[in-house]
Amino acid sequence: DSGVTQTPKHLITATGQRVTLRCSPRSGDLSVYWYQQSLDQGLQFLIQYYNGEERAKGNILERFSAQQFPDLHSELNLSSLELGDSALYFCASSATLTGNTIYFGEGSWLTVV
């Protein structure tokens, strides 16, 4: 158990819909990261928040957004969903802004039909 908690574990939704994925980082970790793992793209960095502020952005679509709340949990919002958004979405956390040890949650498996 990495200490990073993600909900829901599985989600099936229709194209055009919006979903929210939730993440609680390890106790004491200030950085939260979101990664996407799809069949053809591997593990891709989406975005990082540190202590409530966005700090790094990767290959995140404009239809996707994230935020980190004062209690440090984070949400990833995916809207206008397309079939190609079906993937495993991982949250990860680290203690610091440039943490060298990054722990991953078990992922949220999103299927868009």
Query: CB atoms < 10 A from the CB of 57, how many?
Result: 11
Confirm or reject binding of residue 107 to another protein (CB under 8 A): yes
Nearest to 89 by CA among 68, 66, 56: 66
Q: Which stretch binds another protein (CB under 8 A): 13-21, 31-39, 64-72, 73-81?
A: 31-39
DSSP code for 37: E
| Number of residues binding to another protein, judged by CB under 8 A | 29
Give 7's strand partners: 22
Confirm or reject binding of residue 33 to another protein (CB under 8 A): yes
Tell me how far CA of residue 56 lies from CA of 16, 41, 84, 96, 97, in angstroms: 27, 20, 23, 13, 10
- From candidates 82, 97, 111, 113, binder to another protein by CB under 8 A: 97
Confirm or reject binding of residue 56 to another protein (CB under 8 A): yes
Footprint of another protein (CB under 8 A): 2, 4, 31, 33, 35, 42-45, 48, 50, 55-56, 58, 90, 92, 94, 97-107, 109
